[in-house]
Amino acid sequence: MAGSILEKGATAPDFDLHCTPDQRLKLHDLKGKRVILAFYPADWSPVCSDQMAVYNEARKLFQQHNAEVIGISVDSKWCHLAFEQDRHLHFPLLADFEPKGEVSRLYGAYNEEEGQSKRALFVIDEQGVIQWSYLSPDGINPGADGILEALETMDNGKH
């Protein structure tokens, strides 16, 4: 279906994006870990600020499931740096800046009308396969419950 996000069972597209002004992060560098990708519309917006704060607080819970959280928006690496420092975030924010929204598009998480990422979540397993995805309305903070449920389901599937 056109305009829908990638779903469970799809291989997560690899990417190579700036995580700081002078460093890049590739998805395949995280093989062997679970990855939570949180696409979001914009740094500094109230809902996005709250959402990223929730994930910052939940990091230790995520790490108990061998999972790392990564935020992705079309904001620049410099905007991310200021936002991370101001909000005391302890996880990477990746700049899907140029070409604008390229990675968001690969995941079906780009809003062409607004020119920004949709609020979409993906939980990716150690082999790079999406195990859970969720598209939230832009104005709603999806929180961490769905992510934690997906991680717990993955844990239970291993036993």
Catalytic residues: 48
E strand map for 29-109: 34-39, 67-73, 93-95
Which residues does 54 contact at the CB level (< 8 Å), separation at least 6?
Answer: 141, 143, 144
For residue 41, cis peptide bond before it (omega within 30 degrees of 0):
no
- Strands 34-39 and 119-124, by their bridges, are antiparallel
Asked whether the beta carbons of 50 and 144 are under 8 A apart, the reply is no
